[in-house]
Each structure stands twice: as C-alpha cells, then as structure tokens.
Structure 1
Amino acid sequence: MSAALRITGLSAGYSGFRILDGLDLDLAAGRITAIVGSNGAGKSTLLRSLAGLLPRGGQAMVDGRVLPPGSATAAVRAGLILVAEGRHLFPRMTVLENLQLGGWLLARPERAARLERALALFPRLGERRNQLAGSMSGGEQQMVALARALVGRPRLLMLDEPSLGLAPRLVDEVMTLVRRIRDEDVTVLLVEQNVAKALAIADDALVLERGRLVASGPAAELLRSSLVRAAYLGGRR
C-alpha cells in the first residue's frame, strides 16, 4: 500500500514551545486515518504544520515529493487542504462564491469542473447556491467548507473537528460525507472530538500523546482496544 504522506522527525509548536517532537509516520493513500489523543497531544498542531500555517522541523513528503515547510501556498499546490475548526466561511458571500474560492489555484475550466463535481456530491448546496453562507445552519456551513475543499482538488484532505457544535443527527450526516469524499480517491486525515464516530468511519488510526505517536493500526482494532476505550471512550464497550 503506497504512502500518501510520509513524515520523518517532524517537530512543531507555538511561541517556542514544542508540542510535536520527532514524529515519524506514514499515511496510507486512499484511506481515512483518524488521529486520536487527549487535548494538547498535538493533533491540530500536526494539521496546521502540514498546511504551512506553523513553522516545523523535520521532513514531510507527499506522494514522494518533499513538502516545503511554512508555506500554505506550497501545501495547497501539493494537494494538502485543511478544513480548519470553525469552518472559516465568508458569511456575506453566497454558497457558490465560497465554493469558487476553493479553486483559486486552478485554471478556470478545471475549477468549473471541480465545482460541478462538488455540487453533485452535495446536492443540497446546489439547491442553495445563491444563499448567503452566513444564513445557513451549522451543518450546512460545514458542508460548504467540505465542498469548498473538494473544489481545490485535494490529494490529502485534513479535517479538524468537523462535527464541533453540530447536533447528533448532523454529525452522522457529516461523517457519511467524509466517507463519500474518501470514495472520490481522496486521502483523509481526520481529527475529531467524537472518538467513537471517528474510529467508526476511519480505516486506520493513530494515537498521539504529548506530541509522540504511541499507537497505530486499523481503526476497528483500536476501537476494540481496552486502553483506547478507557482513555478516550469513557471505558465503554
């Protein structure tokens, strides 16, 4: 199985405080990998450093090519797209205008094709393409954020807490959409507060603690692990 992402000795943090320290990992292509860990373990720091939003040390390779550190533009050109916590839409722009921004690096014909494909995957957005993004529900705004990322032609889609603030019914809907995105031959790296939901849809999982990788394997196996249940699922079976 080929690696979509290979990380060697990655370190990153904030204001001189190192959170990730010497992280090594391989991410399998065409699969959903969930990152599990307590608050402060380095999950979001990993995503932000890969997206070029934080300085980092070590090496990251995407499809065998070195990813330059500290450049969001280089990350997007390499196919790494982050849907950050909080969605970060433009509320006074329409759904369609928000989606078009996702393809800012693409030529116009490809951007148009990617836009139509995203709307096909999210038919509700097609029906509301002229609605202001700020007037939509939280679940609908999350759909806009996911669809906008798809317009950008991601090889690796990084999702940071996509279910945050959503009602349980909408959480299930978003998780179903994440699986559909994976089925579009997109590799997904998922950070999600709802560990049970994340492991249920993921193919693989990584456990981070204090900036280090402490466990990895098939998500189904980690979901059955007594240690994972005790630490992150309240001990439930």
Structure 2
Amino acid sequence: MMWHSSPFVLGGTAHAHLKVQGLSAGYGAFLVLRDLTLEVKPGLTVILGPNGAGKTTLLKALSGLIPRSGEVQLNGEALPKKTSDIVKGGMALVPEGRQLFPQMTVTENLELGGWLVAKAERARRLEQAFNDFPKLRERAQQLAGTMSGGEQQMVAVARAMMSAPRLLMLDEPSLGLAPRMVDELLAITRRIADAGTTVLMVEQNVKKALAVADRGYVLERGTLVASGPAALLTRSSVIREAYLGAGAAVPTAKAA
C-alpha cells in the first residue's frame, strides 16, 4: 500500500534545535547512557546502532519517561523533566510498537493526540491530518486494531502530529513492516522534516535511514562512536562493515 500526502502543516512554526550535553540515563542504578553529547538540528537526524545500544533509552530520557542527568536544551531553553510539560513545549514521541488503542477508531486515536487543545482547534487539526494522510480519512471509522502494521504506524505518526510538535521523535518506525511500506514511511518522515518539523528517528534499517536523513549518530553500548552528515556516514568504511555488509563497499571511500 502506498500513502500519499500533501505538505504537512500541523508541525510547530519554530524550527526546533535540541542540544544535549553530558546526558546520562538508565533504569534504577543501571546506567545505559553515559555522558552523551549531541545536537538535533532542523531537518532529519537518525540514531543508529545495534540492539541494546541505548537508542530507545535516549528517546525515553528526552521524553521524560525515565530520569536523566545532564543538560538538554530546546531552542536555548532547558527542557522540562515532566512528560506533560515536554509535550506542551513542542516535542512528541511515536514509541516502538505504536501503542494505539486497538478498540478505538482511527478518528478517536487521532483526537487523543490533540487532547490538550480546545475542541475547535482539535477539529481543525483532525481535518488537516486527514488531508496529510488521505488514506486515514477513508479508514476514519475503522478500529485501529484491525489495521495492518503499516497502517497502524501511519495512525501513530498522524496522532503525534496532532500535537503540532516542533520536534517529532520516532522509535523504530519501520520495525516489522514490508519493504515497500518502509520506503513510504521513511519518505513521509522526510516530508515532515522538509515542512519544518525537526525529526529525530531511531532506526535499525541503516541503509534506508541514511538515505533520507540529513545527519546521523551511531550509538554502541551507551556511547557515541560515530557521527556526521548522512552521506559521509554512508561512505564510511566503519559503517559499511558494521551495518551495511561487505557488498556495500565503495572502493574510493576512506574510514571515517
């Protein structure tokens, strides 16, 4: 199934610029992330790395779902610690597994994404979401739990956009999806970024993620081991050997 979209206009008006310095986070006494420093600039930034590297932990820490230490600033202001305040400040997370309400309709799931705004504004955003995701308008009264994985992921992204975020975070959006659906979903994230919403995406599909991203970071065992423009990371021998396979080698490329 292919999804077609008009330009996304639900995102926040200000380009989000997130600065993270000395971030540590984990679960109880167990630290997963140690002293991370990175920037999420306007555009699309991807976080790459193997299972257990700490990618999801990073998004949870930025979303206020787990405690964190260090400095995090959004457009020069300290990021709040509470999730509700973070959402009000313009950040939204599409978690791994989508976490929709399966016994609620597409419309009802989307409305929950705009629950913090007045009813009239929520209705306006819902209409815009249906303009941005025309297929969801066709499925407006379908129960979310009866949809395919790719369709549910579209609902999850549209629901997050209902909060008009300045910064949209996506955790493994392509997980378990068919290749064609992966391509379409990543194209949608690119369009969201091009329309002005800063995107931070955790993704295991390294080759396809780097193809749509502006820049990337590679996370291993809770620390950053590589970073740079997506095009340079794609040509890096370190990235090719670790994530893309020997067949992806480019003879003229040097190790990053």
- TM-score, normalised with respect to structure 2: 0.88
Q: 2:75 aligns with which of 59, 63, 71?
A: 63
Residue identity in the other structure for 2:198: T
The 3 A distance-change label for structure 1 pair 183 and 116 is farther
Distance 1:63 1:110 in 2: 25
Q: State the match for 1:15 in structure 2.
A: 28
Q: State the match for 2:61 in structure 1.
A: 49
Q: State the match for 2:251 in structure 1.
A: none
Q: State the match for 1:170 in structure 2.
A: 181
Q: Quick check: 1:226 aligned with 2:226? A: no
Q: State the match for 1:217 in structure 2.
A: 228
| Identical residues among aligned pairs (%) | 61
Distance 1:203 1:120 in 2: 26
Residue identity in the other structure for 1:18: L
- Number of aligned residue pairs: give it: 234
Q: CA deviation at 1:81?
A: 0.7
3-state SS, counterpart of residue 217 of structure 1 = strand
Aligned residues of 1:226 and 1:235 also touching (Cα < 8 A)? no
Aligned residues of 2:47 and 2:202 also touching (Cα < 8 A)? yes
Distance 1:3 1:148 in 2: 19
Aligned residues of 2:21 and 2:36 also touching (Cα < 8 A)? yes
Q: CA deviation at 1:3?
A: 6.4
Q: CA deviation at 1:224?
A: 1.0
Q: State the match for 1:81 in structure 2.
A: 92
Q: State the match for 1:36 in structure 2.
A: 48
**Where do 5+ consecutive residues of structure 1 fail to align?**
none
3-state SS, counterpart of residue 136 of structure 2 = helix
3-state SS, counterpart of residue 60 of structure 1 = strand
Q: CA deviation at 1:189?
A: 0.5
Distance 1:107 1:235 in 2: 54
Q: CA deviation at 1:5?
A: 0.2
Q: 1:134 aligns with which of 141, 145, 154?
A: 145
Moved over 6 A (4+): none
**Where do 5+ consecutive residues of structure 2 fail to align?**
1-14, 249-256
Distance 1:162 1:93 in 2: 21
The 3 A distance-change label for structure 1 pair 125 and 93 is same
Q: How big is each residue's C-alpha offset from its partner over 1:73-131, in whole Å with a ceiling of 9 and x where there is no partner? A: 01101111110000000011100000000011122232222222211111000111011
Q: State the match for 1:208 in structure 2.
A: 219
Over aligned residue pairs, what C-alpha RMSD do you find? Answer: 1.3
Q: 1:196 aligns with which of 207, 231, 235?
A: 207
Q: How big is each residue's C-alpha offset from its partner over 1:1-57, in whole Å with a ceiling of 9 and x where there is no partner? A: x8610111110011311011111111112x000111122221111001111100101
Residue identity in the other structure for 1:122: F
Q: Which has the higher contact order (CA 8 A, sep 6+)?
A: 2
More deviation, 227-236/49-58: 227-236
Distance 1:141 1:3 in 2: 26
Q: Quick check: 1:116 aligned with 2:127? A: yes
Q: CA deviation at 1:200?
A: 0.7
- TM-score, normalised with respect to structure 1: 0.95
Residue identity in the other structure for 1:45: T
Q: State the match for 1:24 in structure 2.
A: 37
Distance 1:24 1:95 in 2: 38
